[in-house]
A and B are shown apart, each in its own frame.
Chain A
Amino acid sequence: MRRVHVPSQLRSYTGGRAEVEADGDTLDAVLLDLDRRFPGFRFRVIDEQDRIRRHILLFVGSERSGELGAALPPGAEVHVIGALSGG
């Protein structure tokens, strides 16, 4: 299990929790597990062609990642962040 930080925009899926736990050795696996735990979560972050949505940033530790399939270091935390947009 690894820790996932959830942005405010997605906390309606996590019962208001800013941090949750999920299984997975890749970002894709983590997001699929999050979707099992919190149905609907993944589609708000990843589109139907498996692209990270334009205004969403994914970090592994403090490194921004655009590779859903890349292996995650053991214990690395995942941050899902809503990028600067809106107004």
Chain B
Amino acid sequence: MPLSLYVATRKGVWIASAAGSRRSFTLTGPSFLGQQCHHVVLDPRDRRTLLCASRQWHLGPTVFRSEDGGATWKEAEAPPRFPTGEPRGRAVDHVFWLTPGHASEPGVWYAGTSPQGLFRSEDGGRSWAPVSGFNDHPDQAAWVGSDKDQTPDGGKLHSVLVDPRDPAHLYLSMSGGGTFESRDRGAGWSPLNLGVAMDFAPPKEDGSEYTYGHDPHCVVLAPSRPDRLWQQNHCGLYRIDRPSDRWVRVGRNMPADVGDIGFPIVVHPRDPDTAWAFPMDGTNDWPRTPPGGRPAVFRTRDAGATWERRAEGFPAGQAWWTVRRQCLVGDTRDPVGLYFGTTSGQVWASDDEGESFRLLFGDLPQIHAISVAESA
């Protein structure tokens, strides 16, 4: 099967495919040239259907659907939108995140939007309905906070995770707002943020912890141990092992001169103790660029107790791009391949679990997201 990278950029979508080995990728595209595309994801259940979250600069947000691997696209008949006349007056600015539903629920997808909303499709992305249990939860406005609590281009709902053992068990995360869990297919939700720092808020006077309002940047679930989640937060790098409800800051074990600030996190498909992070500079003015202009992936093989720097193939210095939260992904091959995209339009790849990297493509627009899949 070919391996495909789906590259969503500020100005369109490109697809890079490798027919055999991962040494040679062929780039096709663009689709949606000139449109902001925030996520393109292949349906792992049929390996053929693609969804694309798109927003033309002037026009409203929508979702496009392809049944032929991206050759042709058709717009959703009912894209994600809040109910007309709803009390808070919310309107979807852009669809930010797409997650295929559980393997036992073909056709089910989840979408996360800006401002923070959760939407569900049961017909393969053709029509979408709000998940009222979340969007209209009596505490949702408090969880989300005000405009001051959001990322620069609006708050985001992202990292929608479906427990591979139970289609009713869901997680989602919000920037800002924190991470939340549902055990009843989205009808009810509880915060899951204990242990996570919130350096942008003063300590509570009663000494208690904030239970929501955090800023997770990316949260992933270990497929080989679904009770383990990894989180790259605005304030550090964390791991949690359920049923514990407390995150552990494994980023404390990163080198002090690198820190544990960043956007993406990837976990190994078969080894829950192995994960990769891409630290960014979170000092003083928060440039969010590789510390010292020297990009490096940091890999743990022991659940975050120690981290190894891996930079073979990267520029030795003067590299100041950013890797955003949806821009570092891994495939499921052995050894695992890693792929990431930068704000300067580069796509990098490793086919040896991060030992070394090489530049695949260097001249795309700013990359918002990459996903990888074995396509039909």
Q: Which residues of A contact B (CB under 8 A)?
A: 7, 9-10, 39-40, 43-51, 53, 55-56, 82-83, 85-86
Contact = CB atoms under 8 A, between A and B. Distances in A.
Given A44-B56, A85-B57, A49 B91 contact: yes
Given A48-B91, A49-B85, A82 B58 contact: yes
A46 B81 CA distance: 12
Summarize B's interface: helix, strand, loop or mixed.
loop
Contacts of B312: none
Contacts of A48: 81-84, 91-92
Contacts of B82: 48-49
B62 A44 contact: yes
A53 to B, nearest CB: 6
Is the interface on chain B under 10, 10 to 19, 20 to 34, or 35 or more residues? Answer: 10 to 19
Contacts of A47: 60, 81, 91-92
B75 interface: yes
B81 A53 contact: no
B138 interface: no
A44 B60 contact: yes
Contacts of A46: 60
19 contacts: A43-B62, A43-B81, A44-B59, A44-B60, A45-B60, A46-B60, A47-B60, A47-B92, A48-B83, A48-B84, A49-B85, A49-B86, A49-B91, A50-B84, A53-B60, A55-B57, A55-B59, A82-B58, A86-B57
Contacts of B56: 9, 44
Contacts of B83: 48
Nearest to B80: A48
Interface centre among B60, B77, B82, B89 (most CB of A within 10 A): B60
Summarize A's interface: helix, strand, loop or mixed.
loop
Interface string B69-108: 0000001010101111110011110000000000000000
B52 to A, nearest CB: 14
Nearest to A87: B57
Contacts of B59: 9-10, 44-45, 53, 55-56, 82
B66 to A, nearest CB: 15
A83 B75 CA distance: 23
Nearest to A86: B57
Interface in B119-135: none
A28 to B, nearest CB: 13
Nearest to A47: B91
B197 to A, nearest CB: 35
A39 B62 CA distance: 13
Nearest to B55: A44
Nearest to B91: A47
